[in-house]
C-alpha cells in the first residue's frame, strides 16, 4: 500500500461518517437536520483535503476552499429560514479535533510553501465556520 | 483505493437522491438536496473532475435549495395574508 493509498484510505473515514449524517438529515427534527447540514460541509471539506493529497493534485484544494466558505454560509441561510440555530457540541468537537488532525499531517507532508499556507487557511476557515454556526455564543435556541 | 472511494460516494449519492424523493415536505427536501449536491461534488472530485465539482457545489448545494426555500416561503405566505392569518406562522415554522 503506497502513501497515496494511505491518504485515500484516510479520506474514507470522514466519507463513511457521512452515512449516519444522511440518516439524520432524512429523518431528524429540523434542529437535527440543520446540525446535519453543518456537519456535512465540514466532513466534505476534510474528505476533499485528504483526497487532493491522495491524488497528488494540489489544485483540488480549491474545491475544499469553496466548501469551507459555502458550508457555513448555507447553514446560516437555513438557520434564517428554519428559525433555529442549534448549538451543537458534536459539530464543535468534530471541528476542533478533526480539522487539526487532518490539516497538520497534510502540512507536514506538503512542506513549507504556498500550498501549506493555503492548507492552513482552509483549516482555519473550516474551524471558524463550524464554531460560529455551532457556538453557544449564538442564541443557543431560537433566533430571529 | 480510488475505486472504493468512488463506490462509497456513488452509494451516498444514491441514498441521498432516494431520500430526497421519499421526503414529502419541500423544506426537508431542500436540506436533503444540499446534501446530495455536496456528495455529488465529492463524487466528481474522485472522478478527477474538480471543475465540474466546483460548479456542482455552487449550483447543487447553495442555489437550488435556496430557491426552493424562497419559493416555499412565498407560496405559503400568500394564502395566510388573504385568509385568517393562522397560516402565517406555519410558513416560517419549518
d(CA B75, CA B52) in angstroms, rounded, equals 32
Q: What confidence tens digit (pLDDT) does each residue in B74-88 have?
A: 888 766 555 444 444
Instruction: Please indicate if any CB of chain A lies within 8 Å of the CB of B89.
Output: no
Nearest one of B46, B47, B45, B67 to B55, comparing CA atoms: B45
Structural domain count of chain B? 1
Which residue positions in chain B have pLDDT lower than 70? 78-94
Please give the grid coordinates belonging to residue A75: 447553514
How far, CA to CA in Å, does A51 sit from each of A7, A9, A12, A82, A139? 7, 9, 9, 33, 36
Is the distance from CB of A15 to CB of B42 less than 8 angstroms?
Answer: yes
Tell me the residue range of the domain where B87 lies.
2-93
Question: What value, to the nearest 5°, has the Cα angle with vertex B49 and ends A73 and B11?
Answer: 75
- Write down the domain spans for chain A: 3-134
Per-residue model confidence (pLDDT) at position A47: 92
Per-residue model confidence (pLDDT) at position B62: 81
Instruction: Please indicate if any CB of chain A lies within 8 Å of the CB of B4.
Output: yes
Contact B45 A48 (CB under 8 A): yes
Share the mean pLDDT of chain A.
85
Instruction: Please indicate if any CB of chain B lies within 8 Å of the CB of A54.
Output: yes
Contact B32 A82 (CB under 8 A): no
B23: which chain A residues are within 8 Å (Cβ-Cβ)? Answer: 26
Amino acid at each position: 500500500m503506497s502513501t497515496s493509498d494511505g491518504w485515500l484510505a484516510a479520506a474514507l473515514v470522514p466519507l463513511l461518517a457521512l452515512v449516519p449524517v444522511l440518516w439524520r438529515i432524512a429523518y431528524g427534527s429540523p434542529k437535527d437536520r440543520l446540525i446535519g447540514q453543518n456537519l456535512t460541509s465540514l466532513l466534505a471539506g476534510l474528505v476533499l483535503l485528504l483526497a487532493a493529497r491522495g491524488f497528488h493534485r494540489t489544485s483540488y484544494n480549491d474545491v475544499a476552499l469553496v466548501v469551507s466558505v459555502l458550508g457555513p454560509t448555507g447553514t446560516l441561510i437555513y438557520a434564517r429560514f428554519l428559525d433555529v440555530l442549534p448549538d451543537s457540541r458534536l459539530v464543535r468537537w468534530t471541528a476542533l479535533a478533526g480539522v487539526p488532525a487532518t490539516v497538520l499531517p497534510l502540512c507536514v507532508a506538503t512542506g513549507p510553501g504556498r500550498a501549506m499556507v493555503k492548507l492552513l487557511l482552509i483549516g482555519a476557515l473550516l474551524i471558524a465556520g463550524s464554531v460560529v454556526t455551532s457556538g453557544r455564543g449564538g442564541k443557543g435556541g431560537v433566533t430571529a | 483505493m480510488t475505486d472504493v472511494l468512488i463506490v462509497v460516494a456513488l452509494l451516498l449519492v444514491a441514498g441521498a437522491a432516494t431520500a430526497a424523493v421519499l421526503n414529502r415536505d419541500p423544506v426537508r427536501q431542500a436540506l436533503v438536496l444540499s446534501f446530495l449536491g455536496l456528495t455529488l461534488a465529492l463524487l466528481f472530485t474522485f472522478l478527477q473532475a474538480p471543475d465540474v465539482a466546483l460548479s456542482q457545489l455552487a449550483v447543487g448545494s447553495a442555489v437550488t435549495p435556496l430557491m426552493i426555500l424562497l419559493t416555499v416561503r412565498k407560496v405559503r405566505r400568500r394564502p395566510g395574508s388573504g385568509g385568517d392569518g393562522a397560516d402565517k406562522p406555519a410558513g416560517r415554522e419549518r
